[in-house]
Structure formats: structure tokens, C-alpha cells
Amino acid sequence: MDKLSGKVGINMFADIYRNKKVLVTGHTGFKGSWLTTWLLELGAEVCGVSKDIPTSPSMFEELELESKIEHNFVDVRDFEKLKEIVQHYQPDFLFHLAAQPIVSASYQDPLETISTNVMGTANVLETLRGLDKPCYAVVITSDKCYENVEWLWGYKETDSLGGKDIYSGSKGAAEIIFHAYQQSFFADQDGSVLMATGRAGNVIGGGDWAQDRIVADCMRAWSKGNRVEIRCPDATRPWQHVLEPLSGYLLLGQMLSQQSSLHGEQFNFGPRAEQNHTVKNLLHDLSRYWDFDHSDQAYVVTDNVPFHEAGLLKLNCDKALFKLKWESNLSYPECIEFVSEWYYKFYDEEPDMYSVTTSQIAQYHQYAVNKSLIWCN
């Protein structure tokens, strides 16, 4: 992959974020760090709100993002402090990513998950009630907000919400709270605050070190020459690089600012159907970059399955294509290349991971241009 430098093309997202104040909750996490970096490359001023640095290593720390933005350690469950930040910063755009994102952790501490994902979302929406200026808010939930009955076709935005585990239930509840707030306090499409939700899942990419995430678990083990334990090798997922849903979130923010008719809508963001692969397939393809003679040396299947895991979960993204002209960009091999290259450079002691990350963002944009995707113009 060629290394590119400099800002992303000025026509991306209609240059809507340049010199705009953008507030990102959960900015110290995996997806939040990628989104913060992309916004900086688009010329935005970023204010971040997170309760802590969630992992070690940390992409946020490796990219030295604290020195590049207005950084705040505040828990979204602390309404008064959150309100103070929103009132002081007066954001033009808000992306709400702060969450307890790990399914296994929701079994260990269900109240932490519920309070963060449900009340945290309610607090963000409540702060927006006091904002007397135009602001476009994108609230991120998850593909797991759907009541998953493991059918073969993808879930549409109108399908039932729910979940068999606390994490999934909390994301479904966050969507219900969003709808109630939007209908109760932000129903006017001509109001100053417009909002929508984005749903995505099975996100992989460089810089993820969260516990009980398959790629993060692999990289921790393989960097030490160890095999990784996997629970459900035949579980099928539509794997997508983190830049795919982020492109959808950024496009949704842009389109909200241009089309008030999108206010209150929900959108799925997922990869093409051919990117459905088993966990075993994913590990086989990733392990080729780590000099294993055979993929069996890379992992071992464990009988320890402490919680329910879905065998199949995918999204129908026709609404995003029809209303936003959004479609996924990377092929499965390109996704594997992006993920593998980022971690390879990190563990090979690449001195500037910020440049590595912005290079991948620029390359992602170039791929979209080469494929003539409408949304990238």
C-alpha cells in the first residue's frame, strides 16, 4: 500500500467539517480515535469527552491525540459536567460513541453497561435540549440492537429491537430512548438540533486492543508468538474495516446538515454480502501476515463459551444506499490488508502511527474515488 500524506481531498463530505466544532463522545476508544483522526484531517476542531483511556496499549495515546484536540475526561453519565462542556463548546456537530462496548463485560457488570449505554445516551440528548444553535447529532448504537433470530437476510431499520444479552438490550434501549427524545423534544424538522442514529457492527481495524474482540485478542497473542483461543470458529460475520461505518457516520452528519428530512431517521452501515466469513476464515487470512507455517499454529478452539454468541448477524443497508448514496468501499482482501498493515507497523516499532493512520484514511478515500462511489465526492 502506498503511503500518502496530507489532508483528505477537500471535496470529501462536501468539505462540511472544515473549521467546524465537532464534539465526539468516546473519543479515546478504538472507533473514537479513528473518527477523531479523520475529523482532524478534514479540518475540523474536535472536542472529545471520555471517562478514561479504555485499553493499554491505546490508539488514542499512540497517535498523541490529546495534544491535537480539546480533551476532557468526563463520564457521559455525569450530566452536569457533560452539559457544561456542551454549553461551553457550542458544537456544530456531535457524534455520540461513548459506550460500554463489550458483550462479555455486560455479563460481568450489567448495571454498568445499562447505565452507560442507556442513561449516557439520554444525558447526551438532554444536553442538546439546552443548545440554542444549529447542531447535527449522530448517535451511534450497534447492529446488536436488533432482536436477532439468526435469519439469513439482513435486518432492516424497521425490524424489531431487542437482544438476548445485556449489551444488546442496552443498545436496543438506547434506540428507543433516542426515538422518544426526538419525538418529544426535537420533532420539528425546522428546529436548531437535528439528529439520526447509525447502526454497525463486526468492525475491525488497526488500533483495537479491547478485551474479547477477536482481532485484538489475535494481535496480543501473535505479537508474543502465542496461539489465540477462539470460542466459535464457525460463527459467521460480515467483517468490515472501521473506516466503513465511520464514512457512513460522517456522511450522515453531512446529509443531516443539508436535508432536514433525515431528522429522526436510523441507518444501517455494513459491508457487501460477500464479506460474510467465519471466524476461522478471518484468522486464517490475518495469520498469513504473521509468518505462521500453518493457520493451526495461530489459534486453538476452546470449550469455554461463557455467554451466548450469535451464529449469524448481518444488516440490510439498502436505506443508506437509497437515501444517502452510501455503500461500502473495501473488498474483503483490502480490509484484511488494512488491518494487518496497521498492526504490523505498530509492532515493528513504526515511529509515527498518526501518519500510518492518516495514510490509511487517504488510501481509503482514494479507493472510493477509483471505484466511483458517489458518497466520496
pLDDT tens column, 77-98 = 999 999 999 999 999 999 999 9
| Digit-coded pLDDT (tens) for 44-79 | 999 999 999 999 999 999 999 999 999 999 999 999
* Nearest CA-CA partner of 227 in 152, 290, 315: 290
Lowest model confidence (mean pLDDT) among 12-21, 216-225, 292-301: 292-301
Task: Kindly give the pairing relationship between strand 266-268 and strand 228-230.
Answer: unpaired
- 3 state SS for 280-330: HHHHHHHHHHHCCCCHHHCEEECCCCCCCCCCECCECCHHHHHHHCCCCCC
- What is the per-residue pLDDT for 251? 98
Q: Residue 57, preceding bond cis, omega within 30 degrees?
A: yes
Confidence of residue 5 (pLDDT cuts 50, 70, 90): very low
Summarize pLDDT for 259-311 with one digit per residue, the tens: 999 999 999 999 887 778 889 899 989 988 887 877 778 888 876 555 555 55
Residue 311 has a pLDDT of 56
Q: What is the mean pLDDT of the chain?
A: 91
Residue 1 has pLDDT above 80, yes or no: no
Q: d(Cα 296, Cα 309) in Å, to the nearest integer?
A: 23
Which pLDDT score is estimated for 307? 53
Q: What percent of the chain has pLDDT over 90?
A: 71
Task: For 317, list phi and psi in degrees, rounded to 5.
Answer: -110, 25
Q: In this predicted model, which residue has the larger pLDDT, 124 or 154?
A: 124
pLDDT of residue 313: 74
More confident residue, 36 or 312: 36
What's the pLDDT at 225? Answer: 86
Q: Output the pLDDT for position 163.
A: 81
Give the model confidence (pLDDT) of 167-191 as tens digits.
999 999 999 999 999 999 999 988 8
Over range 125-143, report the average pLDDT.
Answer: 96
What per-residue confidence (pLDDT) applies to 154? 86
Handedness of CA 30, 31, 32, 36 (dihedral sign): positive
Q: Are 161 and 145 in contact (CB under 8 A)?
A: yes
Mean pLDDT score, 190-212: 94
Burial of 130 (0-12, 13-18, 19+ CB in 10 A): exposed
In this prediction, residue 216 carries a pLDDT of 92
pLDDT in tens, 331-377: 999 999 999 999 999 998 777 999 999 999 999 999 999 999 999 87
The confidence score (pLDDT) of residue 121 equals 98
Select the more confidently predicted residue: 126 or 312. Answer: 126
Confidence of residue 6 (pLDDT cuts 50, 70, 90): very low
> What confidence score (pLDDT) does residue 253 get?
98
**Distance (Å, whole) CA 298 – CA 283:** 8
pLDDT value, residue 2 = 36
Distance CA 217, CA 221 (A): 6
